[in-house]
Amino acid sequence: MAASPETEDLKFTPLNDWHIAQGARMVPFAGYSMPVQYKDGILTEHLWTRENAGLFDVSHMGQCFVHSDSWEKTARAIEALVPADILNLKPGQQRYSQLLAEDGGILDDLMITRSAYEGHEGWAYLVVNAGCKVQDYQHIAAHLPTGVGLRIEDELALIALQGPKAVEVLAGLIPGIAATPFMTYHHAVLDGTHLHISRSGYTGEDGVEISIPAKHVTAFCDRLLADARVKPIGLGARDSLRLEAGLCLYGHDIDTTTSPIEADLKWSIQKRRREEGGFPGAARIQRELKESPSRLRVGILPEGRQPAREGTEIVADGRKIGVVTSGGFGPSVNGPVAMGYVEAAFAKVGTPVTLIVRGKELPARIVAMPFTPHRYFR
């Protein structure tokens, strides 16, 4: 089949052939050919992950290391780019943060882990979004001081095993993994293959994300899939799972026009950084922490069964007060859910609003997120 303009430049993850063998429907996403769903469909895959263990390919994400000869030097360099407290991470501890522009807008969100490898005390492992990784690498490299380097890892795959039975499944291969706390990582060697396993994910469920050499990932996924509790899950269910969990999708719920405070991510900025600043956009973010921003990201629960998609206008008092940034059907909620930005005066939980869906007015209300309780392992 001749390549179309939309597909001719697509990249492929190391699991591309594996997906096709599993019956995946492949679609372009962030420059990659990715599985949107498998034979059972999005609804079934979503509910399977909530009840069992879902296996996701996230190898399109960017993996890299920032490193120097000391943790303080590395941490200070990263703190010049993000608002999280990196300096006080313990070895093996992971933290969520955002790469910020000078005006406090979000260039990308990312995960940062302090290495616990012997001989790598000054190393930090970063995972960034696929659609932003080239720009992220350029931005990070351009702002690192002398003596601090960036190493991009293109030979690593990344998979996620998510759901209440995920760690139980992995413990059959990696004894001791069940004791790994949420937002920390575990280093394991399986049949000579090094695995970097973090107790984290993008579904609201317990689970892990596993960095593994690309040449070994297919055989490893086959071993996981041999367990009846595991099924492959595509991008469709990944999106509905993260939406129910109230988690942001970069380029939709957060972007260069939003600050972490507007996005209701102030929990990701620790007290020392809030007070000291020293990161891009600090003046704006400190002002918004003190005075509250003019708009806020909120959860929205439409009445009835009609979903409100991205771009839907949010109306109150006879005028537009905001817009939906993510929305769809929540299989676990068994109804439509959405998130978006509204003027701060309308952000209180319980506030009634109106959604303009296909020219029709649909009633809704502001609600707390997540829509489905998080079940992380604490």
Domain CATH number, residue 50: 3.30.1360.120
Q: Which two tokens stand for residue 344?
A: 């701060």
- What gap in Å lies between CA 362 and CA 359, rounded to an integer? 9
Same domain assignment for residues 236 and 127: yes
Same domain assignment for residues 305 and 188: no
Is the link from the previous residue into 370 a cis peptide, with omega within 30 of 0? yes
Q: What is the CATH number of the domain that holds 358?
A: 2.40.30.110
Same domain assignment for residues 330 and 186: no
Q: Which two tokens stand for residue 295?
A: 């708009």
Same domain assignment for residues 74 and 218: yes
- Is residue 254 situated within a structural domain? no
- Is residue 362 situated within a structural domain? yes
Greatest alpha-carbon pair distance for the chain in Å reads: 64
Structural domain containing residue 329: 266-367
Domains identified in the chain, total number: 2
- Is residue 270 situated within a structural domain? yes
Classify residue 30 by burial, with Cβ atoms within 10 Å: 0-12, 13-18, 19+. Answer: middle
- What gap in Å lies between CA 181 and CA 296, rounded to an integer? 31
- Is residue 260 situated within a structural domain? no
- Is residue 374 situated within a structural domain? no
Same domain assignment for residues 171 and 306: no
Q: How many CB atoms lie within 10 A of CB 377?
A: 18
pLDDT by residue for the chain (378 residues), tens only, comes to 233 344 568 999 999 999 999 999 999 999 999 999 999 999 999 999 999 999 999 999 999 999 999 999 999 999 999 999 999 999 999 999 999 999 999 999 999 999 998 889 999 999 999 999 999 999 999 999 999 999 999 999 999 999 999 999 999 999 999 999 999 999 999 999 999 999 999 999 999 999 999 999 999 999 999 999 999 999 999 999 999 999 999 999 999 999 999 999 999 999 999 999 999 999 999 999 999 999 999 999 999 999 999 999 999 999 999 999 999 999 999 999 999 999 999 999 999 999 999 999 999 999 999 999 999 998
Same domain assignment for residues 51 and 184: yes
Same domain assignment for residues 24 and 133: yes
